[in-house]
Amino acid sequence: MAEKNNYSPPRGPGRPRRGMVGVGPKLENPGMLIKRLLGYVMKRYGLQYGIVILCIIVSVLCNVQGTMFMRTLIDQYITPMLMDHSHDFSGLNHAILRVASFYALGVCASFLQQQIMIVVTQGTMKSLRKDVFNHMESLPIKYFDTHAHGDIMSVYTNDIDTLRQMISQSIPQFINSGITIISVVACMIVLSIPLTLVTFAMVAVMLFCSRKLAGFSGGYFMKQQQDLGKENGFIEEMLSGQKVVKVFNHEEENIQRFNELNESLYESSNNAHKFANIMMPVNAQLGNISYVIVAIVGGILAITGFSGLTLGELASFLTFNKSFNMPINQISMQINSIVMALAGAGRIFELMDEKPETDEGYVMLVNARIDENGEIHECQERTGTWAWKHYHKDSDTTTYVKQEGNIEFLGVDFGYDSRKIVLHDIKMYAKPGQKIAFVGSTGAGKTTITNLINRFYDIQDGKIRYDGININKIKKADLRRSLGMVLQDTHLFTATVKENIRYGKLDATDEEVYAAARLANADEFIRRLPQGYDTVLRGDGANLSQGQRQLLSIARAAIADPPALILDEATSSIDTRTEKIIQEGMDKLMEGRTTFVIAHRLSTIRNSECIMVLEQGRIIERGSHEELMEKKGRYYQLYTGNLVLS
Amino acid sequence: MIKILSAQVGEYKKASFATPVFMILEVIMEMLIPLMMASIIDDGVEKGDINHIIMIGIVMVIAAAFGLFCGIMGGVFGAKASAGFAKNLRKTMFEKIQTFSFSNIDRFSSASLITRMTTDVTNLQNAYQMILRMCFRAPLSLICAMAMSFYVNVRLASVYLVAVVILGCILVFIVMNAMKYFTQMFRKYDDLNSSVQENVTAIRVVKAFVREEHEKNLFERACDGLYRIACKAERIVAINAPVMMMAIYSCILLISWLGAKMIIQNTLTTGELMMLLTYCMNILMNLMMLSLVFVMLSMSQASGERICEVLTEEPDIVNPENPVYEVTDGGIIFDHVTFRYNENSEKPVLNDINLVIQPGETIGIIGGTGSSKSSLVNLVSRLYDVTEGSLKVGGRDVREYDIETIRNEVSVVLQKNVLFSGTILDNLRWGDKDATEEECIRACKLACADEFIEKLPDGYHTYIEQGGSNVSGGQKQRLCIARALLKHPKILILDDSTSAVDTATDARIRKAFRDEIPETTKLIIAQRISSVQDSDRILVLENGEINGLGTHEELMKENEIYRDVYRSQNRDISSEKGGMNDGREE
């Protein structure tokens, strides 16, 4: 799943899941998984689960003694009464009442078990979802860059769901079947040992058959999942590019290729279900045969009186024979789903075991006020001035440093993979209020530099200082709060336009939202949307043009009013006139604050104080537009259009 | 809905009929077994007739074997029918989607079409199998067992009748109530998943804005909501099992009690009592099965509806009755063209456009974000139909042409372009599937793609990953242009297709167009003035209306917007030796 290239830019919208991921798993250590999973459930719902198991035992025992009643009914009441023609039903009535009360107990236990089980299952699902999600939010960007989004999604959509089945059905079923088998076997032995042996022999045949069939169908199910994955991949690729397909009249060819894939999916799906379907009647009929054989053998035994088998005992035994086959079937059915669920649990725990982003930072960003003596005081309200609150452990003192946006790179080396360095010895100084631009071809390392400033990734060597403080000492949250980011991929959320802008500052008033939208020149088009600011955006703003989405993401950054700003191709899809209007607004907003700009269009960055030209991870030129033009180096070539930049 | 879906069974009708037939036979065999069992006990064991026991026993084994055979055949045909049904569904949907116009696709969105073709079809496949195997088996089994019971003893059997009616009512009540909550639950569940999806894809935004806590809170609330509704739904369903148990137990007790009395009065035999008790399980289990089928069906109903929506969607661009198969030249005439994406929207996207373009002319199109540039060119190859007015290509209304013809003659390089997984040659041959390698290379040379392809290790046989993720933006755009050129169109439309290509290469591409395919009409949408500056005429669009039309020089004099755009890109052009547009004339 790891990406083959060392640089993996944020991917487009995640793909819908592709069938089941990783079916036919080889479980590394099923014992550990079961233990851990049960531990997870027990920690939260130990008492409830205990009660559930108790309830299962009670209801199974009640059921078993009900079946035993058959013998009592025939041998102790019906046969004797037939013999002596008495019509005294009081004994029978008593017996029936006794059984009835057992049955009532069984029903109550079953009811209790079902209701508690819901709380256990749903509650576990809930806390599992929360835990996985919370943990996911704490993972470093690297995790998301190196794992396919579809795989992460399938943890939520597939794995947690299969686990639900296991907790709510498979485990109780297992316990139920286990207890049933034990008690039924005990009763059968009590009733008749020869018949028990006959039953066992038949069970062995059944188990053998279902294992064989499960093996066949398992293989085909795997093949089915593969074919399904292939076909879904094709559907996904072609439907996403459907407009191109139309433009090129490529419909016929597509249908042909699709039909081939579809045909092979049909084959494997047919085979998989065929064998799975056969399992049920095979077991059922083998059960019937077992029943018949017991009836024959039992009948002969009863007549010959060989082992003292009575008619009532035979009747009871036959019922047991039936209720013995059922749990065996169920266990063989559950094993499959338990294996699948454990594979899912493996993936869930794998995600939960990922190391979260570490943060040893302790320097915090606070709102500040500077008094006439030039001293910095911490305050609660927003003043437009920020300070770094630096606590010194050794002297137990706290100092304040004004946040100015002084960012230095000192000999920074970095690679996404420690063996392959993509940035070499980057030295750079950004003074407060400066606009620093990065220029270079795709893969030169522009975005990577911005990823380092906000510590999406940590550097291998060198130092990055922010207002003189090593950024490793700054709390990540505060560091990121101090840097507004507008990314190349806009990523809007399913919410109203207003809420999307407000994402930058959760407590912003409507007025502030409008102001930010006006600054980003988005106000006009927003008001033309069907419900204006209350229009709900869906699917990453699918109903907006790329340019409009970028305007919104600029508004979102603007409302946060950050001390420093990183613009990564933020205006690439916006026309130059609109861009100019936005730029004026942004310049006003960022006056006196540091801005980093990455842009493809060189006209966008011409007014930067310092332009860094990057190539293959090194800064090869730096200076203002005029200086660089003077130099007639790489920048000059880029600007005059004599070099391929792509 | 059922009519539309059942039409998809197609060649699997035989299997679809065979499945229930075999299931029914299996049921009959199953029903015979308790009947014979009674005979073993009454005529065999009680009378001490071992021969009778063995004879009946052999018949029973044969019946079981025949039942087994029927069960297997039912399973085989059921799998075949349902897998085939799913296959046909996917096939028909895919073919249907291929006929969709752009506006049909817009209406559904690609993502939703994908779910409909994958998850929803799988749901229906499972439901269909369930119907074939259970819908006949369960009720029949129930009726048979009931009939047998009545045959054995009318008085006792009526106990079952009462039980079935009561239990049936309770089950219907439970299912009805639960369904209400289940639909809510599924909606909540979808929301939850889409919020996870957003968090996964937009993790950079979440982290950049330090919104982890905010997202956690939102997610937690969504989880709690789901939990509450799921508990409600399942609590109701969970009543099923105990109610069922209660019904079975009551029946057993009643039958035992009444049966015992009847045996003593000699109106019932012990064997018959045993038989009745076996049927009891059978009847109630099948009732349970029926309610399960019912739940499953109503759950897959939503999937069925979503699939039907696709199948019944009318493609709104269809071939005319007597289509014209030849486009005479590349002239385009916009005659009072007005266009709306949605009939209900108030403001038209394009308003009363009048424009005559000569064959072979190069037209540049400039305009702000949302000024409907793309909408304008999309009308030419009939990707959308005009709302009012008419659009003529080669002197005829585009609606008179065969769709394939017009799209082959009008080649569009879309703004959001896509490469498909396959080699570069595979991708290029989308333009012309019979193109030789030489022709492909020539097209790539025209599009200035040859230079980077040559440098790739496998050259033209380099494998392009899905979505073209292993080539850069500029390379992708050039490949897309080459692909479009291979169609040898009369009209070529570039919709902002060189935005990631540097100015020098951009200029070389345009020069190649001018020299190599002069007779082709070219429409070029661009953000950069330099990309359109040398066009024969430049069209300035603003809010869906023509704001200016003329050469670069004319527009610089007359058109304020154009001047503005120009200035924004060439702020201090005069003070420098090299402007952005110098690469233009080489």
Q: Give the nearest chain A residue to B372 (CA atoms).
A: A545
Residue type, A380: Q
Residue type, A537: L
| Residue A644 banded pLDDT, cuts 50, 70, 90 | very low
Mean pLDDT of B531-549: 89
H or E stretch covering A447: helix A446-453
For residue B573, being part of any structural domain is answered with no
Q: How far is A363 from chain B (nearest CA, A)?
A: 16
CB atoms within 10 A of CB A592: 10
**Sequence-separated (6 or more) residues with CB below 8 Å from residue B151:** none
| Residue B583 banded pLDDT, cuts 50, 70, 90 | very low
CB A400 within 8 A of CB A390: yes
Strand locations in B440-534 (E): 463-464, 491-495, 521-525
CB B413 within 8 A of CB B480: yes
| Residue B582 banded pLDDT, cuts 50, 70, 90 | very low
The reply to whether B306 and B349 lie within a common domain is no
Q: How far is A370 from chain B (nearest CA, A)?
A: 26
- Helix (H, G, I), strand (E, B), or coil: what is residue B300? helix
| Residue B303 banded pLDDT, cuts 50, 70, 90 | confident
Q: Which two tokens stand for residue A300?
A: 């002969």
The reply to whether B265 and B366 lie within a common domain is no
Chain centroid offset of residue B323 CA: 30
List the one residue out of A119, A139, A143 whose CA is nearest residue A131. A139
Mean pLDDT of B236-242: 84
What is the tens place of the pLDDT at every residue in A514-569? 999 998 888 888 887 878 899 888 766 666 777 788 889 889 988 988 888 888 88
List the one residue out of A128, A157, A146, A140 whose CA is nearest residue A349. A128
Structural domain total, chain B? 2
H or E stretch covering A473: none
Chain B residues touching A278 at Cβ < 8 A: 71-72, 75-76
Q: What is the pLDDT of residue A99?
A: 86
What is the tens place of the pLDDT at every residue in B373-424? 888 988 998 888 898 999 999 888 999 999 888 888 898 888 777 888 889 9
The reply to whether B135 and B281 lie within a common domain is yes
Find where tokens 């809905």 sit.
Answer: B1
Chain B residues touching A237 at Cβ < 8 A: 420-421, 466-467
List the one residue out of B558, B572, B537 whose CA is nearest residue B355. B537
List the one residue out of A219, A182, A498, A423 whose CA is nearest residue A320. A182
> Residue A472 has what DSSP assignment?
G
H or E stretch covering A621: strand A618-623
Q: Which two tokens stand for residue A509?
A: 């008033």
Residue B436 belongs to domain with CATH number:
3.40.50.300
Q: What is the pLDDT of residue A67?
A: 75
The reply to whether B15 and B124 lie within a common domain is yes
Q: Does the CB of B241 have a partner CB in chain A at under 8 Å?
A: yes
Cβ–Cβ gap A122/B234 under 8 Å: yes
Q: What is the pLDDT of residue A3?
A: 31
For residue B568, being part of any structural domain is answered with no
Q: What is the mean pLDDT of chain A?
A: 81
Q: What is the pLDDT of residue A641?
A: 59
Residue B34 belongs to domain with CATH number:
1.20.1560.10
CB A176 within 8 A of CB A60: yes
The reply to whether B337 and B290 lie within a common domain is no
Find where tokens 């004026």 sit.
Answer: A584
**Sequence-separated (6 or more) residues with CB below 8 Å from residue A149:** A11, A14, A15, B197, B200, B201
Residue type, A134: N
Radius of gyration of chain B (CA): 36
Mean pLDDT of A93-106: 87
CB atoms within 10 A of CB A290: 23
List the one residue out of A309, A369, A441 whose CA is nearest residue B475. A441
pLDDT at B574 over 60: no
pLDDT at A16 over 70: no
> A263 or B374: which carries more pLDDT confidence?
A263
Alpha carbon distance B250, B159 (integer Å): 10
CB atoms within 10 A of CB B445: 16
List the one residue out of B125, B116, B303 whose CA is nearest residue A224. B125
The domain boundary residue, chosen from B281, B311, B341: B311
Q: Which two tokens stand for residue B62?
A: 């044969």
For residue B569, being part of any structural domain is answered with no
For residue B583, being part of any structural domain is answered with no
Cβ–Cβ gap B45/A314 under 8 Å: yes
Alpha carbon distance A550, A558 (integer Å): 12
For residue B327, being part of any structural domain is answered with no
Cβ–Cβ gap A137/B277 under 8 Å: no
Alpha carbon distance B27, B63 (integer Å): 11
Q: What is the pLDDT of residue B359?
A: 92
What is the tens place of the pLDDT at every residue in B164-197? 888 888 888 888 888 788 878 878 887 887 788 7
CB atoms within 10 A of CB B343: 6
Q: Which two tokens stand for residue A481?
A: 């709060």
Alpha-carbon torsion (A132, A134, A140, A142), positive or negative:
positive
- Letter string b/e over residues B434-443, b meaning 16 or more CB atoms within 10 A of that residue's CB: ebeeebbbbb
Q: Does the CB of B95 have a partner CB in chain A at under 8 Å?
A: yes
Lowest-pLDDT range of B26-40, B229-243, B435-449: B26-40
The reply to whether B200 and B240 lie within a common domain is yes
Preferred mutation among A244, A452, A488 to probe B, highest tally of B CBs within 10 A: A244
Cβ–Cβ gap A253/B433 under 8 Å: yes
Considering only residues 292 to 351 of chain A, which have any Cβ-Cβ distance to chain B shorter than 8 Å? 292-293, 295-296, 299-300, 302-304, 311, 314-315, 318-319, 322
> A576 or B14: which carries more pLDDT confidence?
B14
Alpha carbon distance B303, B86 (integer Å): 13
| Residue B263 banded pLDDT, cuts 50, 70, 90 | confident
List the one residue out of A316, A318, A303, A298 whose CA is nearest residue A73. A316
Q: Which two tokens stand for residue A293?
A: 């054989």
For residue B565, being part of any structural domain is answered with no
DSSP string, A529-551: STTGGGPEE-TTTTTS-HHHHHH
What is the tens place of the pLDDT at every residue in B506-517? 888 988 888 888
Q: What is the pLDDT of residue A442?
A: 63
List the one residue out of A570, A484, A558, A565 whose CA is nearest residue A514. A558
For residue B204, being part of any structural domain is answered with yes
Alpha carbon distance A350, A341 (integer Å): 14
Alpha carbon distance A9, A149 (integer Å): 13
Q: Does the CB of A97 have a partner CB in chain B at under 8 Å?
A: no
> Residue B401 has what DSSP assignment?
B
The reply to whether B274 and B367 lie within a common domain is no
The reply to whether B297 and B348 lie within a common domain is no
The reply to whether B411 and B537 lie within a common domain is yes
Strand partners, A597: A437, A567
Alpha-carbon torsion (B499, B386, B542, A586), positive or negative:
negative
Backbone φ, ψ for residue A456 (5° rounding): -65, -35
The reply to whether B232 and B377 lie within a common domain is no
Q: How large is the ipTM? A: 0.79
List the one residue out of B319, B431, B435 whose CA is nearest residue B382. B319
The full 3-state SS of A130-182, as one line of letters, equals HHHHHHHHHCCHHHHHHCCHHHHHHHHHHHHHHHHHHHHHHHHHHHHHHHHHH
> B425 or A584: which carries more pLDDT confidence?
B425
Chain B residues touching A231 at Cβ < 8 A: 90
Mean pLDDT of B573-585: 37
pLDDT at A507 over 70: yes
Considering only residues 107 to 146 of chain B, which have any Cβ-Cβ distance to chain A shorter than 8 Å? 109-111, 113-115, 117-119, 122, 125, 129, 133
The reply to whether B107 and B52 lie within a common domain is yes
Alpha carbon distance A602, A438 (integer Å): 10
| Residue A178 banded pLDDT, cuts 50, 70, 90 | confident
Alpha carbon distance B183, B308 (integer Å): 19
CB contacts < 8 A, A to B, total 463
Find where tokens 């290239």 sit.
Answer: A5
For residue B233, being part of any structural domain is answered with yes
The domain boundary residue, chosen from B280, B311, B342: B311
Q: Give the nearest chain A residue to B579 (CA atoms).
A: A640
The reply to whether B128 and B254 lie within a common domain is yes
Domain span at residue B488 reads 332-553
Dihedral of the CA atoms A98, A101, A103, A108 (nearest 10)?
Answer: -160
Strand partners, B362: B522
pLDDT at B577 over 70: no
